[in-house]
Structures are given as C-alpha cells and as structure tokens.
Structure 1
Amino acid sequence: MSDIEIRRATEADLPAIVAMLADDPLGATRESPDDLPPYRAAYEAIAADPQQHLVVAVREGRTVGTLQLTVIPGLSRRGASRSLIEGVRVHADERGGGLGTQLIEWAITESRVLGCALVQLTSDATRVDAHRFYERLGFEASHLGFKRVL
C-alpha cells in the first residue's frame, strides 16, 4: 500500500468522490453523480471549515478512496473533542486490498494529532460487512443512532 497517497481532497476530486458515494445500493438511491453543483457548494463549505478534513486516497494519479473526518469540540468527557468519520468509500476495483483499513488508520492517527479523545462513526444498519470491518479495527457498537430527514 506504499503506492497510496492520502491527501486533502480538491474540487477536481469531486466527480470521483461522488461516483464512489453513489456506487452501492444505498448511495445509488440518494446521490446524483450527473448533477455536481450541489456537491461543489458542499465542498466549498467543507474546505472553508478547519474542523473538516475531506481526504482522498490516490494511486497512480487516480482517486480510489475517500472519507471525511470532522472534529467536534464538546463539553462532555471533561471538554474533550471527538472526531467523526463519515463517507468512507473505496473504489470497487480496490476493495479487499487493505485500502479501507489504511483510510481508517489514517483517520485514527489524524484524530490523535488533532487532540481528539474519541473517534466515532456510524454505519447504516444494513451494512453488516462494514460493521464487521469496523469491529475488526477496534470499534465497538456502543450506541443506537437515530435520524430525521428534514
């Protein structure tokens, strides 16, 4: 995996990122790779916020993975900051080769560097394989999550 570079995403990475977000049964129902303007607006907000870390994994000039790491300051846990990992995706051609592990390990290391006391993530209840993957990396299923579409 030494030929993988993990770096901050640029606007030029958006088509590849959105394509990866759409490349699964859940993403296919909620993402629109042919309509990039909403993603560009979101990217601008992410890029302007120092608590947001949108990264891509690149192999030989090709974007093959992504995740977003958000640092959340808080009062609980004696004023500890926590990080939230979201939008973890690996290109279909790269799955099963350790890239997902490398991305998560990057996020954990970066969370420590940023002074976070806890790193957390959520995963859709239907993503059973992803749950096993996260548990293998030391994450524990500790909470029941709720969402409300607005």
Structure 2
Amino acid sequence: MPAIVRLLSEDELGSTRELVADPLPDAYTEAFASIQNQRGNAVLVAETNGEIIACLQLTFIPGLARQGMLRAQIEGVRVDGRYRGQGIGEQLFRHAIDAARREGCGMVQLTTDKQRPDAHRFYERLGFAASHEGMKLMLN
C-alpha cells in the first residue's frame, strides 16, 4: 500500500491530494479493503525486482445505458518517473483492457485531468478518444 500511495503522490496534482506518511492514514487501508471486497473492482500493479513501479484501478460498472452495457473504468494511473517511456504503462493498460474484454465490457472509459497533457497523448496513442467533457462536484 505505501508504494501505491507514493506513486499516486508523485506528480504535481497528486502531491496536493495524497498523504504519504508512516504509518499511512487508515483511510487508505479501508479503501483498499473495500476495493478487494467489491466484485469487479481491483488495483493492478506492475513490479520489477519486487518493487511496485506502476498502478491503476480497474472497476467494472454495470449500467442501463447503451442497452445494459457493462463498462470498465480506469483511474489512478501512475508510472514511477524512473520507468516512464519503457512501455510499462502500455503493458498495464493492455492487461486492463484485456481483462475488460474477458469480463464482457463493451467500453473502457477513463477521466484525465486537463492539466496532464502527457497523459492525454498516452491515452490517445492507446486508442482512447476525448469524446466527452467530464465534470466533478467535490463534496468536502
């Protein structure tokens, strides 16, 4: 868990959102337990030499729209800066997309912050299209 939180905090936006501490705040452990206990929700990681160097969260979402289409949502994507440009993020995405296909999803979707142009280029290279405008309402 500490390695994943470290990855989430390693960029300009994440550094203001995450809290890397020893020990980690209980909220991270509780959230991870909820993810593990919810069918169709997982955190995928890439490792090298026992070190977690990339992560993403993959969630399968049943819905009524699009004739009851099951969709996959990808979020929390991070690759350790030392390993960017080596295809690790692409391999992790391919694994997530393959899992979505096996589960019967008709679509994989993600949101990405407007302040991450490098991430936008990466997603577009993988075939994602900026087809919608996303909106959020923060509740706290």
With normalisation by structure 2, the TM-score equals 0.95
Cα deviation, 1:25-44, whole Å, max 9, x if unaligned, reads 00000100113311001001
- Aligned pairs for 1:1-150 (under 5 A) are 14-34=1-21, 35-150=24-139
How many Å separate the matches in 2 of 1:85 and 1:97? Answer: 20
3-state SS of the aligned residue for 1:25? coil
Whole-angstrom distance in 2 between the partners of 1:76 and 1:38? 32
- Partner SS state of residue 85, structure 2: coil
Residue deviations 1:42-64 (CA, integer Å, cap 9, x gap): 00100100110111111111111
Letter matched to residue 32 of structure 1? L
RMSD of the TM alignment (CA)? 0.8
Ranges in structure 1 where 5+ consecutive residues have no aligned partner: 1-13
Structure 2, unaligned stretches of length 5 or more?
none
Could you list the runs of 4 or more consecutive aligned residues of structure 1 that deviate by over 3 angstroms after TM superposition?
none
Distance 1:44 1:50 in 2: 12
What is the rounded CA distance, in whole Å, between the counterparts of 1:66 and 1:130 in structure 2?
A: 14
Percent of residue pairs identical:
50
Normalising by the residue count of structure 1, what TM-score does the alignment of the two structures yield?
0.89
The answer (yes or no) to whether the contact 1:86–1:121 under 8 Å persists in 2 is yes
- Are 1:15 and 1:36, in contact at CA under 8 Å, matched by a contact in 2? no
